[in-house]
Amino acid sequence: MRTIYKNFCVISILLVVAIFISACSGKEGEDTANDTNKINIRINNDPDFLDPHMAEASITFQMLLNIYDGLLIGDTDGSLKPSLAEDYRISDDGLTYTFTIREGVTFHNGEPLTVEDVQYSFDRLMGTTTGEPLSSDFDNIASLNTPDDKTFVITLQEPNSAFLTYLTALNSAIVPKSNDGKHNENPIGTGAFKFNSYSPENNLVLEKNENYWKEGLPYLDKVTFTFQPDDQTALLSLQAGEMDIVSVGSHRVSEVEEQFNLEYQDSNSVLLMGYNQERELFTDIRVRQAINYAVNKDDIIEAAFSGYATKLGSNMSPAMGDVFKEGMEDTYKQDVDKAKELLAEAGYADGFSTTISISSHAALYTNVAQVVVENLKEIGIHAEIEVVEWGVWLERIYQGRDYDMTIIDFTGVLSPYETINRYVSDADNNFFNFKNEEFDQLMSEVLVESNTDRQKEIYQRLQEILSEEAAAVYLADYQIIWALNPKLEGYKLYPYFFHDLAEVRYTE
């Protein structure tokens, strides 16, 4: 037994020595890590799928867009640019889309990109051969044709002004036909990086695509996306030099601004508080407007985002470019008296009790809800916060529409049509139960409108309707703040979730 005790001492001394030795050696190891052109990026969660036709989460595409390309790509300003399609033509009737497929593109497995692969990718999404469609974006397609080996033709049943936005890798990544059945286990695309390994809840590793079709790119040899759900830990590992790109909570900016480069991405998201307009309380527009007048958006932005957010007035963010209708953010500037007046007119002079149901998966919702509760208290509305798991929120509130009020943010998509489609009376995802004839009418008009100026006009009017009708309380488009290793350059920001690493490199 004496020896056991002795062993304890020896072991503990050894441990301490090991710590110090490696404390010294650790430093050297770190310098070499930067030289070898590797990058480590923190991602909050695992991808839902690696198969781009199965995946849906924006967090997934943040990574996958480095592996896959689509016919088109959304540029940093939100406009659509050619990618695997060198160029395209739309017929005057808006029904026929003709794409010229880029030459000299190879997949990560060495096979050249052909029109058959493009056709296969769309067939797979539409479920043409399997009978199991993976997407409803392409229900409107009448036929797909490949007249020659570099031309791909899509014919629509009806004109659809939003159709082009479905042709990026987000909705229709081009995958090789030869990889059928293995897209999830062994993802193969044409992007700047190729898949190396995926370890669930640990990391996704990509490596350089030596034959990338953009000459000279990418610069980096290896990209590791590390899954780390805890924000605090992620920040510490950035500071410890373990990570190169981490999103930082707005309240942490002061801790990192000196050591790191910060990039502020307008996330093109819409954070809103919705109310169930099938519930009697909220059928009355005066009640909805009263709630709008009660809420102090500035306080919410300050409390939840330390000011790093843009106030919104309707369901679109300035990141949408010229379809965005400006100047509506203060339509319902906080005005307690007016709110009380409206409530009294609606017959609720003494206020009422209600519940705000939110999901537990992000602290954001509870933070916003707490401010809203205080705001509503001032006009006599007593709101309880009910926090449910994400799964319950989706099933009961979003799908089941069983709620009074809720707070949620929708991440940006490129298509203005998709952004506000959920307010159409019979849309599946109209969980607001919003109903407005003019809105429905204009939405079907804009879809077949080919004149872009007229489209803009209609989209702006649509945003006005949402604001006039107080379809929801539109709060903010918050910024995502990226802290980057200061040695990195070439990181670009997009109006959607995309870590574009093709042009990222280390300086010197």
Partner 1 sequence: MAYFVRRIILLLVTVVLVSLITFAVFQIIPGDPIRIMLGPEADEARVETLEKQLGLDQPLPMQYVNWISGVFTGDLGDSIRFSRPVSELIADRLPVTLSLAFLSIAIVILIAISLGIYVAKRPNTLSDLVFSSVTQVGMAIPSFWLGMLLMLGLGMTFQFFSISGYVPWSESIIGALGSLLLPAITIAIPQIAISFRYIRNTILEQMQLDYVRTIRSKGITERVVMYKHVLRNAMIPILTVFGLIFAEVVAGTIIVEQVFGLPGFGSLLITSISYRDFPLVQGIVMYITIVVVIINFIIDILYAVLDPRIRLGRTGE
Partner 2 sequence: MKRIRNYGKNINLIIGSLILFAVLIMMIVSFFYTPYDVNEMDIANKLQPPSLVHWFGTDEFGRDIFSRIMVGTQTAFFVGTVSVSIGLIFGVLIGGVSGYFGGWIDEIIMRIIDALMAFPGIILALMLVAVFGSGMVNTSIALGLMAIPGIARIARSGFLQSKDAEYVQAAKLMGQTPLRIMTKHILPNVISPIIVAASIAFAVAMLAEAGLSYLGLGVQPPDPSWGRMLKDSQGYLVSAPWYTYAPGIVITLMVLGFYLLSNAIRDISDPRSRK
Residues that bind partner 2 (CB under 8 A): 231-232, 249, 251-252, 254-255, 299, 302-303, 360-363, 366-367, 369-371, 373-374, 385-389, 392
How far is it, in rounded angstroms, from Cα 315 to Cα 421? Answer: 10
Residue 22 makes contact with partner 1 by CB under 8 A: yes
> What crossing angle do the helices spanning 285-294 and 336-345 adopt, rounded to 10°?
160
Q: Which stretch binds partner 1 (CB under 8 A): 88-96, 249-257, 346-354, 389-397?
A: 389-397
Q: Is 396 in the site for partner 1 (CB under 8 A)?
A: yes
SS3 label, residue 350: coil
- Cβ nearer to partner 1, comparing 18 with 349: 18
* Least distance from partner 2 to the Cβ atom of residue 242, Å: 17
Per-residue binding letters, 114-133, with partner 1 (x by CB under 8 A):
-------------x----xx
* DSSP symbol at 435: -
What phi and psi values does residue 154 have, to the nearest 5 degrees? Answer: -110, 130
Q: State the nearest-atom distance from the C-beta of 305 to partner 2, in Å.
A: 11
Query: What is d(CA 94, CA 86) in angstroms, rounded to the nearest whole number?
Result: 20
Residue span binding partner 1 (CB under 8 A) among the ranges 12-20, 64-72, 114-122, 258-266: 12-20
**For residues 472 and 315, is the Cβ–Cβ distance under 8 A?**
yes
Q: Could you tell me if 145 and 155 are in contact, meaning their C-beta atoms sit under 8 angstroms apart?
A: yes
CB of 197 to partner 1, least distance (A): 12
Is the separation of the CB atoms in 249 and 374 below 8 Å? no
- Among 71, 56, 47, 74, CA closest to 493: 74
d(CA 49, CA 156): 29
396 binds, among partner 2, partner 1, none (CB under 5 to 8 A by kind): partner 1
Q: Which residue has the tokens 């954001």?
A: 364
337 binds, among partner 2, partner 1, none (CB under 5 to 8 A by kind): none
19 binds, among partner 2, partner 1, none (CB under 5 to 8 A by kind): partner 1
Helix (H) or strand (E) holding 283: helix 280-283
Report the residue number, 107 or 305, with the smaller CB distance to partner 2.
Answer: 305
486 with 257: CB under 8 angstroms? no
Largest CA distance in the chain: 93
Number of residues binding to partner 1, judged by CB under 8 A:
67
Interface residues with partner 1 (CB under 8 A) are 1-2, 4-5, 8-9, 11-12, 18-23, 25-27, 30, 46, 48-49, 54, 56-58, 127, 132-137, 184, 199-203, 226-230, 232-234, 236-237, 239-240, 242, 361, 389-392, 394-396, 398-399, 408, 410-411, 413, 428-429
